[in-house]
Amino acid sequence: MENPFEIINNRLERIERLLENISSNNFINEANINLPKIMNLKQLASYLDVSKGYLYKLTSTNNIPHSKRGNRIYFDIEAINEWVLENKIWTQKDIEEQVNNYLLKNRR
């Protein structure tokens, strides 16, 4: 008869390896999330973590890129991602680099 502690230890090692594989696969999959190219209002509200009412306000004022087909509103996820990132807040390092580049180009 096998040592029960050895059996438990082997099983724990297998579980540990499986958890490590799952963890590393989730990390990789987070970067490769399969998002639909076109989203409806409910999907986009969930994606951006905002209310549907807020999205209706943005669409009615034409402040967010969208398309309409009848009463339905659709969003191109690539255009939305660009829209979200268009108001980038510059870091102190970015500003210093811009200043240095400007000073190098405009020497007198």
Query: Crossing angle for the helix pair 77-85 and 41-48, nearest 10 degrees?
Result: 40
Number of other CB atoms surrounding residue 64 within 10 Å = 19
Please report whether residue 92 resides in a domain.
no
Please report whether residue 74 resides in a domain.
yes
Residue 65 has pLDDT above 70, yes or no: yes
Query: Do 26 and 51 fall within a single domain?
Result: no
Query: Do 45 and 70 fall within a single domain?
Result: yes
Domain of 52 in residue numbering reads as 38-85
Total domain count, the chain: 2
For 75, counting Cβ atoms within 10 Å of its Cβ (0-12 exposed, 13-18 middle, 19+ buried), the class is buried
Report residue 26's pLDDT band, with 50, 70 and 90 as the boundaries.
low
Give the pLDDT mean for 60-66. Answer: 95
Query: Do 27 and 42 fall within a single domain?
Result: no
Query: Do 56 and 22 fall within a single domain?
Result: no
Give the pLDDT mean for 9-32. Answer: 70
Query: Do 30 and 43 fall within a single domain?
Result: no
What percent of the chain shows pLDDT beyond 70?
A: 88
The pTM score is: 0.57
Query: Do 10 and 48 fall within a single domain?
Result: no
Lowest mean pLDDT among 6-15, 17-26, 67-76: 17-26
- Mean confidence (pLDDT) of the chain: 85
Q: Which two tokens stand for residue 5?
A: 């502690």
Q: Which residues contact 76 (CB under 8 A, 6 or more apart)?
A: 37, 38, 65, 67
Query: Do 17 and 42 fall within a single domain?
Result: no
What pLDDT score was predicted for residue 70? 93
Please report whether residue 98 resides in a domain.
no
Q: SS3 of 25, please? A: helix
